[in-house]
Amino acid sequence: MKLFGLLLGCGLSQTLDERVAILEDAVMQQHKEIDQLKQRLTKAETEISVLESSLTCGGAAFHDVCGCASGYAYYQGECVPSDEAAARAWIEEFNVDYQFYVHDASDAYFAYETNITDANLAAAGAASARFGAWYSAHIPHAIRVFDCFSATQTHSTPKTAQR
């Protein structure tokens, strides 16, 4: 653009036809760039449409994104009853137990790292095993509770329960 202005400003030796030709070339170049941008925009809009159509659930204004009414949550392809109070209580209990087992394992590994002995390594391994056993027993239910709890957070107004 600066070069273009310089050409116009210093173009005293150019004829009017030469200056018009320069302007026409610049306009044509801008039209080409605009056409390229339009093509990119069209391609992006098409890709967005394809992505939107591939979603597993369509949603509606009075349902959550997967079509479950208030009081229900989408879980593994179904609308299941969701009890937010029970979910909150379970999550709080889960977090307390989780912190207990994680803290126990962290303490054991800290003791091992600051005093590397076979006994401390065995204690760290035992604490890790206790955490692993507790966690593996709780995680399948935790996934469902967390999924259902997060789904209840999307509802803004109560609706009749539908299945």
Extents of the domains making up the chain:
2-53, 72-152
Closest CA to 98 of 63, 59, 60, 145: 145
Percent helix, strand, coil in the chain, to 5, is 70, 5, 25
Strand-pairing partners, residue 79, are 74
pLDDT digit string, tens, across residues 21-48: 999 999 999 999 999 999 999 998 888 8
Query: Can you tell me the distance from the alpha carbon of 146 to that of 144, in angstroms, rounded to the nearest whole number?
Result: 6
pLDDT digit string, tens, across residues 55-112: 555 544 444 556 677 777 766 677 777 777 777 777 788 888 888 888 888 888 888 7
- pTM, entire model: 0.36
